[in-house]
Amino acid sequence: MTNLDELLIIARAAVDKGSQLLKTVEPGKITAKDDRDFVTDLDVRIQETVREYLYKKTPEIGFLGEEQVDHEESSGERRYRWILDPIDGTSNFIHGIPLCAVSLALADNDNPAIGVISAPFLKLEYHASVGRGAFSNGSRIKTSHTTNLGDSIVSIGDYAVGIAAAEKNRRRFAVTTALANKVERVRMFGSAALDLAWVAEGRIDACVLLSNKPWDTAAGVLIARESGAVVTDSDGNEHNLTSAHTIAASSAIASSLLDLIATTA
């Protein structure tokens, strides 16, 4: 397999291709995938464009994209696979809200080794490779230095839609209430990729995502981790692609945040 530095160059070029489409092409037809969950023609076009580029450059590496009919298609049992969310924050994009991004990771079994996120409407690009730090628009980034939950801004993931949404949202509502009673402010941006990237950059102090779809989180988890964030599941176990939840926080508040989340179980 090509070395990690060369793969990062390939990943950034692939995301740039998707990002240019996201910035310049209309959504096209909007189709319901499930209750209040949508896909646009542009989601599919970006995925096809990025996938074709990656296959040409790295035919030996598998691929997993959000918009595949069969999410295991073409990835099989390969150790390495690209994981793509062509538009993270599709609902935001459909409504003209600029909080959306192209998110691509290279996974080594259950852990990301490369992560690239581009939010073209915000003119932001994040990237990281394992052991080499995290960067925003080419500059090294680190998490915030906040030491107290009461001084923290914490983002939360979207509330659930679709099958069993009411049951899933009971925990989400409880977490929201617990955070609202403790932290400085609670935010919901509607893009897991940006939640994690902004923890990495110190724009926010933590994020609580009670989900872990790999295309949503893989790139951002690595970027957050390489910036110094503590990234775990809601029980405090080290996060990987099989974790149920995704919690990222600056190191000084991670323990207090996990203790607070535990009260909502």
6-59 per-position pLDDT tens digit: 999 999 999 999 999 999 999 999 888 777 778 999 999 999 999 999 999 999
Per-residue pLDDT of the chain (265 residues; tens, 9 = 90+): 679 999 999 999 999 999 999 999 999 998 887 777 789 999 999 999 999 999 999 999 999 999 875 555 445 568 999 999 999 999 999 999 999 999 999 999 999 999 999 999 999 999 999 999 999 999 999 999 999 999 999 999 999 988 889 999 999 999 999 999 999 999 999 999 999 999 999 999 999 999 999 999 999 999 999 999 999 999 999 999 999 999 999 999 999 999 999 999 8
Q: How far apart are CA 20 and CA 37, in angstroms?
A: 24
For the whole model, what pTM was predicted?
Answer: 0.95
Strand partners, 32: 38
What is the total residue count of the chain? 265
Q: How far apart are CA 40 and CA 172, in angstroms?
A: 27
Nearest partner of 11 among 101, 73, 87, 103, judged by Cα: 103
- pLDDT, residue 2, reads 72
Tokens 């979207």 locate to: 158
Work out whether strand 230-232 and strand 80-88 pair parallel, antiparallel, or are unpaired: unpaired
List of residues 6+ apart from 77 with CB closer than 8 A:
none
Q: Up-side HSE of residue 231: CA atoms within 13 Å toward CB?
A: 29
What CATH number matches the domain at 149-262, 3.40.50.300, 3.30.300.130, 3.40.190.80, 3.20.20.60? 3.40.190.80
Q: How far apart are CA 12 and CA 16, in angstroms?
A: 6
Helices (H), the chain: 4-24, 41-57, 90-94, 165-180, 192-201, 214-226, 251-262
Q: What is the DSSP letter of 150?
A: G
Structure tokens at 258: 């996990």
Contact 87, 40 (CB under 8 A): yes
Task: Establish whether domains 4-140 and 149-262 are of one fold.
Answer: no
Domain ranges across the chain: 4-140, 149-262
Helix (H, G, I), strand (E, B) or coil at 122: helix
Taking the domain 4-140, which CATH number applies? 3.30.540.10
